[in-house]
């Protein structure tokens, strides 16, 4: 049974190498390190050197996991921002969101002032430099991360657009007030 620990630990390490998310990389690594501690400490002649190193690495990863979680909490949108951002960009594909984000972040265009402006901006071709920015900085982001960045960057313009009134979310707002 102890022999199985080292094999499962290595599978967890492999899974962490295949992932792109730093939090999951560290969580999987911690799982592998815990199994390594079990493996090295439960030998007929316990191996205290590798066990000690695994415990140290486990502690370091636990501290980093805590920092990553705190950073992610700080970067979360408020529920209102999340709701309004999703309502504003709900009908855009990931590719359109990436194009819009690239244009807005590179400041090649002014922030859209109407829903039609958003659609037009999404379909404007990217310059060579914007294409590089998109590929290097934004292409690996999830849809949620793209929406977070767009909502933060365009918050004042989005509020003026009042997308919640377009989609019937005002009904939801009225229901929330009643409840």
Contacts of 28 (CB under 8 A, 6+ apart): 12, 13, 15, 16, 19
Q: Where are the domains of the chain?
A: 2-75, 79-178
Structure tokens at 77: 């949108």
**What's the pLDDT at 40?**
95
Tell me the mean pLDDT in the region 5-18: 94
**What's the pLDDT at 31?**
97
| Predicted structure pTM score | 0.62
Q: Which of 87, 125, 88 is nearest to 103 (CA)?
A: 125
**Distances from the Cα of 107 to the Cα of 28, 49, 90, 130, 145, angstroms:** 39, 54, 23, 10, 19
* Number of residues that this document lists for the chain: 179
Give CA–CA dist 58/88, Å, rounded.
42
Confidence check: pLDDT of 95 > 70: yes
Confidence check: pLDDT of 27 > 80: yes
Q: Counting Cβ atoms within 10 Å, is residue 136 exposed (0-12), middle (13-18) or buried (19+)? A: exposed
| Phi, psi dihedral angles at 113 (to 5 degrees) | -110, -5
* Consecutive H or E run containing 121: helix 115-122
Contacts of 110 (CB under 8 A, 6+ apart): none
Each residue's pLDDT tens digit, 46-72: 999 999 999 999 999 999 999 999 998
């Amino acid at each position: 049974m102890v022999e199985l620990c080292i094999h499962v630990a290595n599978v967890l390490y492999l899974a962490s190498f295949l992932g792109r998310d730093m939090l999951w990389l560290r969580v999987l690594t911690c799982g592998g390190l815990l199994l390594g501690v079990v493996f090295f400490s439960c030998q007929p002649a316990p191996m205290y050197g590798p066990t000690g190193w695994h415990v140290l690495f486990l502690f370091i990863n636990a501290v980093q996991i805590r920092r990553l979680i705190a950073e992610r909490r700080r970067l979360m949108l408020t529920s209102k921002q999340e709701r309004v951002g999703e309502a504003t960009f709900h009908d855009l594909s990931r590719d359109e969101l990436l194009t819009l984000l690239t244009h807005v972040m590179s400041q090649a265009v002014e922030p859209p002032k109407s829903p039609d402006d958003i659609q037009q901006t999404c379909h404007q071709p990217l310059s060579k430099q914007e294409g590089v920015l998109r590929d290097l900085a934004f292409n690996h982001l999830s849809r949620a991360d793209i929406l977070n960045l767009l909502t933060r960057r365009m918050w004042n313009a989005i509020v003026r657009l009042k997308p919640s009134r377009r989609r019937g979310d005002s009904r939801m707002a009225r229901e929330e007030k009643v409840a």
